[in-house]
Chain A
Amino acid sequence: MKFGIVVFPGSWSERDMHYAVADVLGYPAEYVWHRATSLNNFDAILLPGGFSYGDHLRCGAIAAHSPVMAAVKDFANNGGFVFGSCNGFQILCETGLLPGALIRNDHLEFRCEPGNLRVESSRTPFTSQYADGDVVAMPISHGEGNYQADDETLAMLESDGRVIFRYVDEDNEATPEANPNGSLNNIAGITNEAGNVLGMMPHPERACESLLGSSDGNPLWQSIVVAVDGGG
């Protein structure tokens, strides 16, 4: 089992992901430079937060055309597990590996704050170590995390159970107040149709130790390891 953590020049969550996966949980993890064209050595690919190439055009738009993302697409199309958080989620939408788009937060400000998510489904390679309906604490940190999709896509995501994380309040209600950015249906994270690609705006790698406020992100990495190793 080995995680590959993609590093774009403007990534800044790659070290935090490495810390959560390797230092806290002890799983092997290596950085993958954005010019890499092969991902053969890895069992799961992580796309970190940050500003990839500066995000001047649209968040993740240039990254979507980078050499490494061509390799990530192949990796995903062959059934490999791909996870993206924050800028990683934006890039996954820009490459078309996930449907929909992330636009500017509805209040037009950057938002960094703790928050609660409901785990809508534990039947994914990324969430098997949670239970359905769990409320987990993971912070957000983004200016463009407002998830949008057309009506048809949204209906499909909901009916197919592909909305995996939803912003909720402390009472597990998906209220407008719990929605930090204007996302449709309080959507915080979704999967692709095959279920092997997950993108989410919140930062599970920052929820890795109770000292920092939450360790609710750890089961996500553990789920990926279970999916790869079959529980081994």
Chain B
Amino acid sequence: MAPIAQELLDEVALSRAEYEAIIDRLGREPNELEIGLFGALWSEHCGYKHTKALLRTLPNTSDRLLVAPGAENAGVVDIGDGYAVAFKIESHNHPSAVEPYEGAATGVGGIVRDILAMGARPMALMNSLRFGPPTDERQRYLLSGVVSGISGYGNCIGVPNVGGEVVFDASYAGNPLVNAMCVGIIEGGKVMSARADAPGDLLVLVGAKTGRDGIHGASGLASRTFEEQAELRSTVQVGNPFLEKVLIEACLEAIELPGVVGMQDCGAAGITSAAVEMAERSELGINIDVAKVPRRENEMSPYEVMLSESQERMLLAVKPGAEERLFDLFEKWDIDAAIIGTFEADNQVVVSEGAWQASSTPVVTLTDAPEYQFNSPKPDWLAELQSFDLVGLPDLEITPNEALLKLLASPNIASKHTVWRQYDHQVQNNTVIAPGGDAALLRIQGTQRALGVSTDGNGRLVYLNPRVGSAIAVAETCRNLACVGAEPVALTDGLNFGNPETPDIQYQLQEAIAGISEAASAFGIPVVSGNASLYNESAGSAVQPTPIIGALGVLENVERHARSAFQDDGDAVIVIGTDTPWDTFDGLAGSEALAVFHGTIAGQPKLDLDLETKVQTLCRSLIGGDLLKSAHDVSHGGLAVAVVESAVQGNIGVTIQHDDPVTDWLSALFGESQSRIVATCDDDDVDAVLRIASEAKVSATQVGTVGGDYVRVANVVNLPLATIADVWLNSFERATSG
């Protein structure tokens, strides 16, 4: 027999060695359909070939954990008062690069169904976006398309979109990142499982009819480098948010019916991945008759039906005899429901079309994708970048006032309210802190509790030091929660990296996951779900390694929260985490100031996890004690920008004065050293705040006073609030509207 053609293997992104392994395990050549099944299930997207071993090292235990990481579609944590929360982040990078509106829209749809599959009502969305510089017309097109897609889909399904991030860097120009996170709530502990109960259980497909859209989405778009995708536009799925909304309501009703035992979303690799994963979890086989699948196109082959990624579909496992009431329910909602198979006692995946059997393959052979381990050395170029001399930077030709205004105008720092206002962030009546705060805060109706939700990631810092940069992503997203008063209870990670077959990317991956692990352990919280998006490259150049960390926090008394806006004239400004407001040269590593004023990304990021956890615990306890009137994380743009943001949001000026003179104003004002929070309190409470900080062994220093209509920082910055507000509030729109 002639060896299989390379083009056929390329079409499903299997290597020749992987193909040989399939023959070895089957004891025969796979047929055409099986090649498609293996291609999908062994894709990086479904099979986690390059990350499985690393992901196992992440912390995965917690008293709050109800569903362990990896066991189901998303991890589930107990948040108290009889409520549980499922949450997860997922990428849709390559589809969004090819077709930004539908790519982003179906990214939202996909993550919502992951959460729905747990039996949870989706209650919040966030998204984390990365593009190349908006000075380029194509980047503005991508941004506008992605935001419209998120808005168009998310606003229709009745789930509030409560924020996220939009960041620009040249490394994302050929390969934007679109990560969407969904948080869902389960009342009464009734978590759904994506598994059948016993042989004879029925496999029911509900939702959209199946078409030819999205075939090879998992193995193609998600598992190859970008230049191979030029003609892959047809593999991007098209979303129908109205159907998704109806599907959410119908599925949440369906799981209340007796005999509905399991639920699973159809995501990447469609019915193939969904049904085979259900069979694997159930330790059963499955027979699927593709002739029973409702279709919107004629003459689809079993291959096409099995690999279609048509959106808005779910699979249910149902006890025989329970299907009638289920069909009635879906008829009420005008949604198709069809029995397309049965679970069987053998451990075979059998695909038939009517009486004709198209394939019969052992479950374990399909699901046990190869696992690649690596231990790659630190690249030499990285050591060079890390030792960059931040002290000996050339002097700038501009004044601190001009520098502050220039930084505030950077699209990475300017307010993103023109993006957030395109998202419905209030529906469901829970949004206490809307997009634009450090974290979003959503109360749980009928309780005193609230959930804090945040995402964070800093590709530049991870690029400069994958381990420390990733730990910083965890620390910062948890710090965002601390600034609203919420205690982190679980994390989800969206790993966006380049081609994992190259040593430099392998080094980034292994170090990044180690860093996430270290930080999560320091906070004592598990990583309950996540997603790996690899091959984010174009023209041979990888994106900055960008783990996006989503954090879920619990606030027991929703009344005791804080916001980032300054409140009242005369309030004292206190910096928590340091004994001087002025940062050192070290803080310029990977900073926005270094990129904007010196055109470089270099230096060695640093993080002290012991200090970090203490700072966050202190901040939460001060907010819980009703002592703080505002709290804001110091991040992009350093202390000066943090102070400006709080001032503009509160529409009140501020004066920062300190005994230490400002030397080297660039680092002093704009350094981005970690573990710092700008807080305010009533003037009468300053002593109490400083005393509690001292008891907690955390530096905290009064550095200024809120009031007036100027922003003054020592003797170097002195600008009218109105000028600053105009630049910070309007620059993003100016930069992105062309």
With beta carbons under 8 angstroms apart, the residue of B152, B157, B240, B422 that contacts A12 is B157
CB-CB contacts below 8 Å: A8-60 with B? 9-13, 15-16, 19-20, 23, 49-51, 53-56
Interface pairs A-B: 3 shortest CB-CB: A12-B158, A54-B242, A16-B429
Q: Are A212 and B155 in contact (CB under 8 A)?
A: no
Size bin of chain A's contact surface: 20 to 34
**Does B502 sit within 8 A of A, measured CB to CB?**
no
**Does B156 sit within 8 A of A, measured CB to CB?**
yes
**Does A141 sit within 8 A of B, measured CB to CB?**
yes
Who on chain B is nearest to A52 by CB? B242
Q: Are B427 and A141 in contact (CB under 8 A)?
A: yes
Who on chain B is nearest to A203 by CB? B426
Contacts of B242 in A (CB 8 A): 9-10, 51, 53-56
Q: Are B151 and A110 in contact (CB under 8 A)?
A: yes
With beta carbons under 8 angstroms apart, the residue of A12, A19, A54, A111 that contacts B421 is A111
Q: Are B424 and A141 in contact (CB under 8 A)?
A: yes
Q: Are B445 and A10 in contact (CB under 8 A)?
A: no
Question: Nearest-CB distance from A31 to chain B (Å)?
Answer: 12
**Does A188 sit within 8 A of B, measured CB to CB?**
no
Contact count A vs B, C-beta below 8 Å: 83
Q: Are B156 and A10 in contact (CB under 8 A)?
A: yes
Q: Are B429 and A205 in contact (CB under 8 A)?
A: yes
**Does B718 sit within 8 A of A, measured CB to CB?**
no
**Does A190 sit within 8 A of B, measured CB to CB?**
no
With beta carbons under 8 angstroms apart, the residue of B241, B334, B422, B558 that contacts A211 is B558
Q: Are A111 and B427 in contact (CB under 8 A)?
A: no
Q: Are A113 and B429 in contact (CB under 8 A)?
A: no
Which of B157, B424, B425, B430 neighbours the largest number of chain A CB atoms within 10 Å of its CB? B424
Question: Nearest-CB distance from A181 to chain B (Å)?
Answer: 12
Once bound together, how far apart are the Cα atoms of A56 and B446, in whole Å? Answer: 36
With beta carbons under 8 angstroms apart, the residue of B245, B420, B429 that contacts A51 is B245
**Does B423 sit within 8 A of A, measured CB to CB?**
yes
Contacts of A110 in B (CB 8 A): 151-152, 155, 422-424
- B residues bordering A, Cβ < 8 Å? 151-152, 155-158, 240-243, 245-246, 249, 333-334, 420-432, 443, 445-446, 558-559
Question: Nearest-CB distance from B354 to chain A (Å)?
Answer: 33
Once bound together, how far apart are the Cα atoms of A111 and B155, in whole Å? Answer: 10
Question: Nearest-CB distance from A136 to chain B (Å)?
Answer: 16
Contacts of A113 in B (CB 8 A): 421
**Does A109 sit within 8 A of B, measured CB to CB?**
yes
Q: Are B432 and A19 in contact (CB under 8 A)?
A: no
Once bound together, how far apart are the Cα atoms of A205 and B423, in whole Å? Answer: 18
Contacts of A13 in B (CB 8 A): 158, 427
Contacts of A208 in B (CB 8 A): 429
Once bound together, how far apart are the Cα atoms of A51 and B426, in whole Å? Answer: 16
Contacts of B425 in A (CB 8 A): 112
Contacts of B333 in A (CB 8 A): 9
Q: Are B158 and A23 in contact (CB under 8 A)?
A: no
Q: Are B158 and A50 in contact (CB under 8 A)?
A: yes
Contacts of B155 in A (CB 8 A): 110, 112, 141, 143
Q: Are B156 and A51 in contact (CB under 8 A)?
A: yes
Contacts of B151 in A (CB 8 A): 109-110
Once bound together, how far apart are the Cα atoms of A12 and B421, in whole Å? Answer: 18
Question: Nearest-CB distance from B263 to chain A (Å)?
Answer: 20
- Answer whether A211 and B432 are a contact pair too, CB < 8 Å, given A9-B246, A9-B334, A53-B242: yes
Q: Are B158 and A139 in contact (CB under 8 A)?
A: no
Question: Nearest-CB distance from A183 to chain B (Å)?
Answer: 17
**Does A162 sit within 8 A of B, measured CB to CB?**
no
Q: Are B426 and A20 in contact (CB under 8 A)?
A: no
23 CB contacts below 8 A, A to B, read A9-B245, A9-B246, A12-B158, A15-B428, A16-B427, A16-B428, A19-B429, A19-B445, A20-B429, A23-B446, A51-B241, A54-B156, A110-B151, A110-B424, A112-B422, A112-B425, A141-B424, A143-B155, A206-B426, A206-B427, A206-B429, A212-B426, A212-B430
Who on chain B is nearest to A53 by CB? B242
Once bound together, how far apart are the Cα atoms of A10 and B243, in whole Å? Answer: 8
Once bound together, how far apart are the Cα atoms of A19 and B558, in whole Å? Answer: 18
With A109-B151, A112-B426 given, can you name 8 additional A-B contacts, CB distance below 8 Å?
A: A11-B158, A19-B429, A20-B429, A109-B421, A110-B424, A209-B429, A212-B426, A212-B431
Question: Nearest-CB distance from A50 to chain B (Å)?
Answer: 7
Q: Are B429 and A112 in contact (CB under 8 A)?
A: no
Once bound together, how far apart are the Cα atoms of A208 and B429, in whole Å? Answer: 9
